[in-house]
Amino acid sequence: PGLFRALALNPAKRLGLPSGRLAIGAPADLVMFDANQPFVLDRATLKSKSKNTPFDGARLQGRILASFVAGKQVFGQ
């Protein structure tokens, strides 16, 4: 709860954005995350314009499966 509050709720409050609930009529902005899924970071797969990263080729733990903005999937399968 503390991490969620720090990374999602507090920034939204400061920007005056609605957040923090899944309910009919509420914006469905969410991320599906699997903390148990390992992966190797490949700079070629980054969605950023800049592909610079010190983590290219690093084995990392935890992977974003999908992202939704206003109820529409914008990342993932």
Residues found in the chain: 77
Average pLDDT of 53-57? 96
Reading the block at residue 62, the tokens are 């935890």
Is residue 51 included in any domain, yes or no? yes
The answer to whether the CB of 66 falls within 8 A of the CB of 34 is no
Q: How far apart are CA 49 and CA 38, in angstroms?
A: 24
- pLDDT for residue 62: 93
Beta-carbon count within 10 A of 42 CB = 13
Beta-carbon count within 10 A of 53 CB = 13
Is residue 29 included in any domain, yes or no? yes
Reading the block at residue 31, the tokens are 């991320």
Is residue 58 included in any domain, yes or no? yes
pTM: 0.62
- pLDDT for residue 57: 97
Structural domains counted in the chain: 1
Is residue 40 included in any domain, yes or no? yes
Is residue 63 included in any domain, yes or no? yes
**Domain around 70:** 24-77
Residue 55 has pLDDT above 80, yes or no: yes
pLDDT, mean over the chain: 87
